[in-house]
Amino acid sequence: MQELANRLPISRPAVSQHLKLLHDGGLVTRTAQGTRRIYRLNPDGVAALRAWFDGVWSDALIAFAKTADAAPYGPRPDPDAHPEDS
């Protein structure tokens, strides 16, 4: 953890807290080696996070498409036009 903390603009306790959250969330694994803790990405946890993000984006894009399809058709206002010019 010290190697990581030395490369980041945050304190060692803050790095420790972040790693704990990542571990609790299943995104990293932690292995004890003497007094050291070795953290590694957990591929299963990262895959689950990716699947969740894919679902969120899919739902958002479907909602956007439905909204766009329901929008009235016709001329779009010119964003560069000034009302006082007309």
The pTM assigned to this predicted structure is 0.62
DSSP 24-52: HTTSEEEEEETTEEEEEE-HHHHHHHHHH
**Residue 22 CB partners (closer than 8 Å, separation 6+):** 28, 39
Residue 39 contacts residue 29 (beta carbons within 8 Å): yes
* Domain spans in the chain, listed from the N-terminal domain onward: 2-42, 45-71
pLDDT given at position 23: 97
Fold observed for domain 2-42: Arc Repressor Mutant, subunit A (1.10.10)
Amino acid at 10: I
Express each pLDDT in 29-61 by its tens digit.
999 999 988 999 999 999 999 999 999 999 999
Express each pLDDT in 73-84 by its tens digit.
766 777 787 766
Q: How confident is the model at residue 86 (pLDDT cuts 50, 70, 90)?
A: low
pLDDT given at position 8: 87
Separation between Cα atoms, residue 8 and residue 75, nearest integer Å:
51
